[in-house]
Structure 1
Amino acid sequence: MKKLNELLNDFSELVMFKHSVFSLPFIFIAMVVGAKGWFGFKLLILGILAALTARNFAMAVNRYLDRDIDALNPRTVNRPNVDGRISPSQMLAFISLNAIGFVIVAYFVNDLAFKISIPILIVIGSYSYFKRFSFLAHLILGISLGLAPIAGVVAVTETIPLWTVLLSIGVMFWVAGFDLLYSLQDIDVDKKLGLHSIPSKFGAKNTMNISKVFHLLTVIFWLLFVIQSGGSIFAYIAVMISALMLAYEHYLVNKDFRKIDRAFFTVNGYLGIVFFILIVIDNI
């Protein structure tokens, strides 16, 4: 039992399970808006399972493909995929299990969800490849999480309305923007290993400016989402608070690079939760 608990903890660390807070709120935001309120316990359970299996798959693929790179980065050298706690064969088994689980969950959601399940897995599993040849990898990561609202509304309405696309584009720029800030920690390693990233190509100052532009676009697209979906006062407040939180995130990083973790995890985690709560209130 002790070994099983240790293995579960290692896999949780491998996929950074606690970071699920970034994608889960926006799946359920789309589901709440699509259903104009409560969407039922069945879709709640299936939504959670879909989000977790998709994220576990994407993160495990990333860790499996990046184990050679992680071994050369002082920041990641103690990860389970590098220090031997989880073997490559165990990672492949975990990847396969979550991929199969995601497709099965999609089957029980509806026909459209099942049809797009494999394409979604292909997209979210491709991030690791892009940073080997393109500095646009940050946007690919953004697209991966940006698929969450689309998956959410498909589960409820079996359609992809315009407001969901706007919400998803906002999520894409949000994630890409904070990933740029987070990747500043690896700027020297990326240059040394010849990896493609915006920080290694354009430098720290330009990266922070690009991140600010991305987050400005985030607010614009979320505002368009509220307008297109017919949101009322609480939805507009959600966008306003998000803008203030993103501004605070940039303030933290500009003031002290050592506060990148705080900006990345704390601010963005609370942003998604606050946004979700206000959208729920808006749809009661």
Structure 2
Amino acid sequence: MSDASARVADSTGNWVDTLAPEWARPYLRLSRFDRPIGSWLLLMPCWWSAALAAGMAHDVRRLPLTIVLFLIGAFAMRGAGCAWNDITDRDLDAKVERTRSRPLPSGRITVMQALAFLVALALIGLVVLLQFNRFAVLTGIASLVVVAIYPFMKRVTWWPQVFLGLAFSWGALMGFAVTFGRIDVTALVLYAGSIAWVIGYDTIYAHQDSEDDALIGIKSTARLFGAHTHQALILFYGLAVVLIGVALASGDVRWPAWLGLAAFAAHLASQIVRLRIDDPDLCKRLFFSNKHAGLLLFAGLLADAVMRAA
């Protein structure tokens, strides 16, 4: 099989195709290092909570190191999560046009090779986690329960995006665990807001596969909401903004954080206005744009933290 034919259908060529050694390419694709949007979306709640907690503590001295460690950990654990997802979904992926050329269903690597790579990435994540306090370590380890069950949820519930939200929003708890050694109400409300955000953006993402999913019996909120997706996004994106706003108020933030939330809300509103669920390419672009939405909120929280610590 040529390397060109080994590219997954939703990848159009990137640094992996041009710079990485050929033997490494299936592993980099397995972990989605060629398309790191998932890592960025996993990272955003981590950075939000780290900045919000630092602002509440009026101390940003450890914040740069925490930001870097969360960055490394998010990319490592997202890679491990993708490997686990592809191991469990390899038979289903073979039936979907967008995913049938992924490394496992296409036979580029074996299940045992994928498992070995998963373990290596998880060990990197563990090394990062061990840089924090004991409570944060235990909190991070607890997330593995949700990560482990998520790939199976699309087989049993119309709401797998909820379980993805539980996993991808865990970082909203980690910033508080690292900074204060506890999880308080502010962290839990931020976590809930992030879950609503994830449900929204992953519903957009799932519309790329809705036809194939219907044929093979895979459930998703995209199929559940169908023509009512815009109304559902108004609900979940609106809930995300309100809950995150409650968390910010609880954290007694100043104007930069509110400005960041306003920019975040405006970005989500623009997604709803622009969305056409019958346009897979547009769904993909809108899903990808959530990285920028998350960064807008983070920028506001970071500026707020620096201002309060001054």
Q: So what's the TM-score if we normalise by structure 1?
A: 0.91
User: Could you tell me which residue of structure 1 aligns to residue 108 of structure 2?
Assistant: 85
- Mapped contact 2:204–2:277 kept (Cα < 8 A): no
2:42 maps to 1:23: yes
Select between 81-90 and 235-244 the one with higher mean Cα deviation: 81-90
Q: For 1:227-238, what aligned pairs fall within 5 Å after superposition?
A: 227-238=249-260
User: Could you tell me which residue of structure 2 aligns to residue 187 of structure 1?
Assistant: 210
How many residue pairs align between the two structures? 281
Deviations 1:235-280 (A, max 9, x none): 1111111111111111221386241111010x20111111111211
- Mapped contact 1:150–1:160 kept (Cα < 8 A): yes
Select between 15-24 and 244-253 the one with higher mean Cα deviation: 15-24
Select between 114-123 and 141-150 the one with higher mean Cα deviation: 114-123
2:94 maps to 1:75: no
CA gap of 1:7–1:175, structure 2 versus 1, over 3 A, is farther
Q: Whole-Å Cα distance in 2 between the matches of residues 262 and 46 of structure 1?
A: 28
- Mapped contact 1:153–1:160 kept (Cα < 8 A): yes
- Mapped contact 2:277–2:283 kept (Cα < 8 A): no
User: Could you tell me which residue of structure 1 aligns to residue 184 of structure 2?
Assistant: 161
Q: Whole-Å Cα distance in 1 between the matches of residues 274 and 63 of structure 2?
A: 39
CA gap of 1:101–1:14, structure 2 versus 1, over 3 A, is same
Q: CA RMSD in A?
A: 2.1
Amino acid at match of 2:102: R
Select between 13-22 and 96-105 the one with higher mean Cα deviation: 96-105
2:293 maps to 1:271: yes
Amino acid at match of 1:15: S
For residue 117 of structure 1, report the CA deviation from its aligned partner: 3.2
For residue 218 of structure 1, report the CA deviation from its aligned partner: 0.6
For residue 120 of structure 1, report the CA deviation from its aligned partner: 0.9
User: Could you tell me which residue of structure 1 aligns to residue 133 of structure 2?
Assistant: 110
For residue 12 of structure 1, report the CA deviation from its aligned partner: 2.8
- Mapped contact 1:174–1:214 kept (Cα < 8 A): yes
User: Could you tell me which residue of structure 1 aligns to residue 52 of structure 2?
Assistant: 33
- Mapped contact 2:261–2:300 kept (Cα < 8 A): no
Unaligned 5+ residue runs, structure 1? none
User: Could you tell me which residue of structure 1 aligns to residue 77 of structure 2?
Assistant: 54
CA gap of 1:251–1:229, structure 2 versus 1, over 3 A, is same
Select between 205-214 and 141-150 the one with higher mean Cα deviation: 205-214
CA gap of 1:255–1:89, structure 2 versus 1, over 3 A, is closer
Q: Whole-Å Cα distance in 1 between the matches of residues 141 and 211 of structure 2?
A: 36
Q: Whole-Å Cα distance in 1 between the matches of residues 25 and 299 of structure 2?
A: 29
User: Could you tell me which residue of structure 1 aligns to residue 29 of structure 2?
Assistant: 13
Deviations 1:213-242 (A, max 9, x none): 111101111111110111111111111111
User: Could you tell me which residue of structure 1 aligns to residue 3 of structure 2?
Assistant: none
Deviations 1:11-66 (A, max 9, x none): 33223232122122321221122222342554344323322222122121111111
Identity %: 25
Q: So what's the TM-score if we normalise by structure 2?
A: 0.84
Select between 256-265 and 96-105 the one with higher mean Cα deviation: 96-105
- Mapped contact 1:47–1:152 kept (Cα < 8 A): no
Amino acid at match of 1:109: F
- Mapped contact 2:261–2:296 kept (Cα < 8 A): no
Amino acid at match of 2:216: L
Deviations 1:164-190 (A, max 9, x none): 211111111111111111111212222
Amino acid at match of 2:28: S
Q: Whole-Å Cα distance in 2 between the matches of residues 175 and 252 of structure 1?
A: 18
User: Could you tell me which residue of structure 2 aligns to residue 96 of structure 1?
Assistant: 119
More helix by share: 1
Unaligned 5+ residue runs, structure 2? 1-17
Q: Whole-Å Cα distance in 2 between the matches of residues 190 and 92 of structure 1?
A: 26
Deviations 1:109-144 (A, max 9, x none): 111122233321121222111111111211100111
Select between 68-77 and 256-265 the one with higher mean Cα deviation: 256-265
User: Could you tell me which residue of structure 1 aligns to residue 238 of structure 2?
Assistant: 216
Amino acid at match of 2:70: G
- Mapped contact 2:77–2:122 kept (Cα < 8 A): yes
